[in-house]
């Protein structure tokens, strides 16, 4: 049970894959992690007391006197000790002779995970005792001196990747969780990719890395923002959702090509792909169009992509928002598998089946279906029941399961009736095979598509839990989604409009006239980047005309333009045409590393409820410290929070 020396591969560009170990988690780490143009090997032992890292020693070091520092991973029969650092593991022989009694005492008595420094000679292991699973498995260290640098108390969990631990415990002891191989891998891969992105943007394409403020003011529309009190009564800063306004102002300032690894804040609570503070690779350019931004991003991802992963194929395919919704029921389609939504309205135009006729007679009424490959084989009746219940509960929609190639419609007279009438036509349209199940629904276009899009993903998950391979986990399927509507109806009041992206997004040039007549029909110059069904980036060409910006903000979005007077003013001083994009770095790294949550690629993430479980953040502040901010807490009377105080 040894860690592979993946790190040296990360830096040195060795192409030889390291052997798989018996532990599955290490297996996934054992692929070589070589970033394409890494030329120099970093020096890991400069400026410090060690001469080498634990993971780097090989037969070529035989006879060398080395000093190593690391944590005690294993001890066997008071004879061997395995020392670990970020680079790997090395075996140390505990001396048995009397003259080395003090060294033996230190190495035998130090608890696991204590940090020690040892000095000694690199020797070869006795013949037959080499460990091929361990990159340092041909050698061991004959120790001369040892020092206990710091002892480790009883651990809340073992630092071994295969030991299951709850996420809450991992977050509470994050500094210990970070010692795990998986976290080391994730954070180092992240650092490497960011390094390559900087190189690509700044060195190859002349971008300027500029920091923008994190104490800012409220932005109209968009996500909820965190407030920061100020000492002026009733005045607050806001933490920015993104550097959007600053990057546009940098274009007005002639900075031309901006980028930043930017921390952004949204007061939205955590989800597997979301947390209150997150990082964007934020980009803005002057004199650019949509194609220019897309090519830049394709090049950026290709350049920074780890070599051990399936390569990024460019250009990325592109799909309109309308097509994404109609075919996949979402604006972030997972295009790694089929099961697309098919419109079968025409088959039923003159139907006598009441509920279909009813649906088709309404505005935007449709009949749609998806085909679940081998659903009859893998789904149980109770699976279909729960699909139907989900559809009724969450979408207020009926789902009809239809077995087109057999007569097994689970006692559904409607399904049988449909079958008799339309079997051949539907088999042809849906391309069904023996054992497939068709899930059919009727209703308003968007609603029917959204439901089937959701069921498509649910069914894919279900099929995969039953052993069907639908989505290749090593495949990276990028997709541009374009031609979004400029506005969407507001959720809380559908008669009002809100920006689909943000209010600075420019309308599609061919739809500008509609702004003044049918704003809902205006498409925008907004593009999203989707990877394996995750939105990993989004951006737009911006409005650079103050009058148009004012009209959209004030007349169409009914926003308080005073909040944005600085932006409107700036546009009037020769603002260049410009556009940009932001990549969600956490999500991107999460997909690249195949992690279940973005919290696995962030060093110190917040919990689901937005708390830092390690330091107990957010924390209460004594009333006297709140006084300078003119803030008083009004405690809820019946909540647990009140009881706690």
The tokens for 597 are 């949550």
Within 146-272, where are the H helices? 167-172, 174-177, 181-198, 205, 244-252
Query: 8 vs 212, which CB is nearer to ligand ASP?
Result: 212
Min CB(296)–ligand ASP separation in Å: 12
Q: Indicate the SS3 state at residue 141.
A: strand
Query: Per-residue DSSP letters for 390-443?
Result: HHHHHH----EEE-SSSS--TT-HHHHHHHHHHHHHHHHHHT--TT-EEEEEEE
Min CB(149)–ligand ASP separation in Å: 44
User: Which residues on adjacent β-strands are paired with residue 271?
Assistant: 274
Min CB(204)–ligand ASP separation in Å: 21
CA atoms within 13 A on the CB side of 226: 18
Query: 214 vs 405, which CB is nearer to ligand ASP?
Result: 214
φ, ψ of residue 631 in degrees (nearest 5): -120, 140
Who's near 188: CB < 8 A, 6+ residues apart? Answer: 7, 10, 86
Query: 242 vs 450, which CB is nearer to ligand ASP?
Result: 242
Report the candidate in 321, 315, 294, 303 with the shortest Cα–Cα distance to residue 579. Answer: 294
CB atoms within 10 A of CB 639: 9
Task: Give dist(CA 119, CA 68) in Å, integer.
Answer: 6
Helical packing angle, 321-328 and 445-465, nearest 10°: 60
Query: 56 vs 528, which CB is nearer to ligand ASP?
Result: 528
Min CB(260)–ligand ASP separation in Å: 11
Min CB(285)–ligand ASP separation in Å: 10
Query: 70 vs 240, which CB is nearer to ligand ASP?
Result: 240
Query: 242 vs 279, which CB is nearer to ligand ASP?
Result: 242
Q: Which residues bind ligand ASP (CB under 6 A)?
A: 242, 244, 538-540, 580-582
Min CB(580)–ligand ASP separation in Å: 4
Min CB(262)–ligand ASP separation in Å: 9
Min CB(565)–ligand ASP separation in Å: 20
* Segment 151-158 long-range contacts (CB within 8 Å, at least 24 positions apart): 151/110, 151/111, 151/114, 152/71, 152/72, 152/110, 152/111, 152/112, 152/113, 152/114, 152/115, 153/111, 154/111, 155/112, 155/113
The alpha carbon of residue 145 and the mean position of all alpha carbons in its chain are separated, in whole angstroms, by 46
Q: Return the exposure string of 135-161: e unless at least 16 CB atoms fall within 10 Å of the residue's CB, then b.
A: bbbbbbbebeebebeeeeeeeebebeb
Query: 177 vs 282, which CB is nearer to ligand ASP?
Result: 282
Q: Please check whether residue 452 is in contact with residue 368, taking contact to mean a CB–CB distance below 8 angstroms.
A: yes
Report the candidate in 158, 66, 69, 145 with the shortest Cα–Cα distance to residue 111. Answer: 158
Report the candidate in 335, 338, 302, 300 with the shortest Cα–Cα distance to residue 319. Answer: 335
Q: Please check whether residue 602 is in contact with residue 586, taking contact to mean a CB–CB distance below 8 angstroms.
A: yes
Min CB(304)–ligand ASP separation in Å: 18
Query: 439 vs 582, which CB is nearer to ligand ASP?
Result: 582
Min CB(511)–ligand ASP separation in Å: 19
The tokens for 502 are 């943000």
The DSSP output letter for 556 is: I
Task: Give dist(CA 161, CA 182) in Å, integer.
Answer: 7
φ, ψ of residue 325 in degrees (nearest 5): -70, -45
Min CB(203)–ligand ASP separation in Å: 22
Min CB(539)–ligand ASP separation in Å: 4
Query: 218 vs 394, which CB is nearer to ligand ASP?
Result: 218
Residue of minimal Cβ distance to ligand ASP: 242
Query: Per-residue DSSP letters for 262-281?
Result: EEEE--S--BTTB-SEEEEE
Query: 402 vs 581, which CB is nearer to ligand ASP?
Result: 581
Query: 244 vs 270, which CB is nearer to ligand ASP?
Result: 244
Query: 90 vs 582, which CB is nearer to ligand ASP?
Result: 582
Min CB(94)–ligand ASP separation in Å: 55
Query: 401 vs 580, which CB is nearer to ligand ASP?
Result: 580
């Amino acid at each position: 049970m040894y860690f592979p020396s993946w790190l040296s591969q990360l830096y040195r560009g060795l192409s030889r894959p390291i052997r798989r170990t018996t532990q599955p988690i290490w297996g996934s780490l054992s692929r070589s992690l070589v970033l394409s143009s890494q030329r120099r090997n970093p020096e890991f032992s400069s400026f410090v007391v060690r001469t080498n890292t634990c993971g780097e020693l090989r037969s070529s070091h035989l006879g060398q006197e080395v000093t190593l520092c690391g944590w005690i991973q294993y001890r066997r029969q008071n004879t061997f000790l395995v020392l670990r650092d970020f680079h790997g593991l090395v075996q140390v022989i505990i001396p048995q002779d009397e003259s080395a009694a003090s060294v033996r005492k230190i190495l035998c008595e130090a608890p696991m995970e204590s940090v020690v420094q040892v000095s000694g000679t690199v020797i070869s292991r006795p013949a037959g005792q080499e460990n091929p699973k361990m990159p340092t498995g041909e050698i061991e260290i004959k120790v001369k001196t040892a020092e206990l640098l710091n002892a480790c108390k009883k651990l809340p969990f073992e630092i071994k990747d295969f030991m299951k631990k709850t996420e809450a415990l991992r977050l509470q002891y994050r500094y210990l969780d970070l010692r795990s191989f998986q976290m080391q891998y994730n954070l180092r891969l992240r650092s490497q990719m960011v390094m390559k992105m900087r190189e690509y943007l700044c060195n190859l394409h002349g971008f300027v890395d500029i920091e923008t403020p994190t104490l800012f003011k409220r932005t109209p529309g968009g996500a909820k923002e965190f407030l920061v009190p100020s000492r002026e009564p009733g005045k607050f800063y806001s933490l920015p959702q993104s550097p959007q306004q600053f990057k546009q102002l940098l274009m007005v300032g002639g900075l031309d090509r901006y980028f930043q690894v930017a921390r952004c804040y949204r007061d939205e609570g955590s989800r597997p792909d979301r947390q209150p503070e997150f990082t964007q690779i934020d980009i803005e350019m002057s004199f650019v169009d949509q194609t220019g931004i897309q090519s830049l991003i394709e090049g950026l991802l290709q350049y920074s992509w780890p070599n051990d992963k399936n390569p990024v194929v460019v250009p990325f395919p592109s799909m309109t928002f309308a097509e994404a919704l109609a075919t996949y029921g979402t604006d972030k389609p997972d295009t790694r598998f089929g099961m697309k939504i098919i419109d079968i309205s025409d088959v039923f135009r003159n139907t006598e089946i009441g509920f279909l006729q009813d649906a088709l007679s309404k505005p935007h009424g449709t009949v749609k279906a998806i085909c679940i490959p081998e659903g009859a084989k893998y789904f149980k009746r109770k699976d279909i029941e729960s699909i139907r219940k989900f559809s009724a509960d969450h979408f207020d929609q009926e789902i009809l399961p239809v077995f087109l190639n057999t007569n097994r419609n689970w006692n559904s007279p409607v399904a049988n009736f449909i079958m008799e009438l339309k079997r051949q036509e539907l088999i042809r349209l849906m391309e069904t095979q023996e054992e497939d199940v068709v899930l059919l629904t009727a209703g308003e276009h968007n609603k029917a598509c959204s439901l089937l899009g959701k069921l498509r993903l649910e069914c894919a998950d279900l099929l995969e839990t039953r052993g069907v391979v639908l989505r290749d986990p090593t495949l990276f399927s990028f997709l541009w989604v374009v031609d979004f509507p400029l506005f969407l109806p507001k959720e809380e009041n559908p008669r009002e409009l809100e920006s689909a992206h943000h209010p600075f997004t420019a309308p599609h040039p061919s739809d500008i006239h509609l702004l003044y007549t049918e704003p809902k029909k205006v498409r925008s110059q907004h593009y999203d980047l989707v990877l394996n069904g995750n939105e990993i980036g989004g951006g737009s060409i911006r409005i650079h005309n103050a009058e148009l910006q004012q009209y959209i903000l004030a007349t169409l979005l009914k926003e308080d333009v005073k909040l944005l007077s600085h932006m409107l003013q700036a546009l009037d001083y020769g603002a260049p045409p410009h556009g940009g994009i932001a990549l969600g770095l956490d999500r991107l790294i999460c997909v690249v590393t195949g992690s279940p949550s973005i919290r696995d690629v962030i060093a110190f993430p917040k919990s689901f409820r937005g708390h830092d479980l390690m330091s107990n953040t957010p924390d209460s502040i004594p009333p006297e410290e709140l006084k300078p901010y003119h803030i008083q807490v009004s405690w809820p009377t019946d909540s647990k929070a009140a009881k706690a105080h």
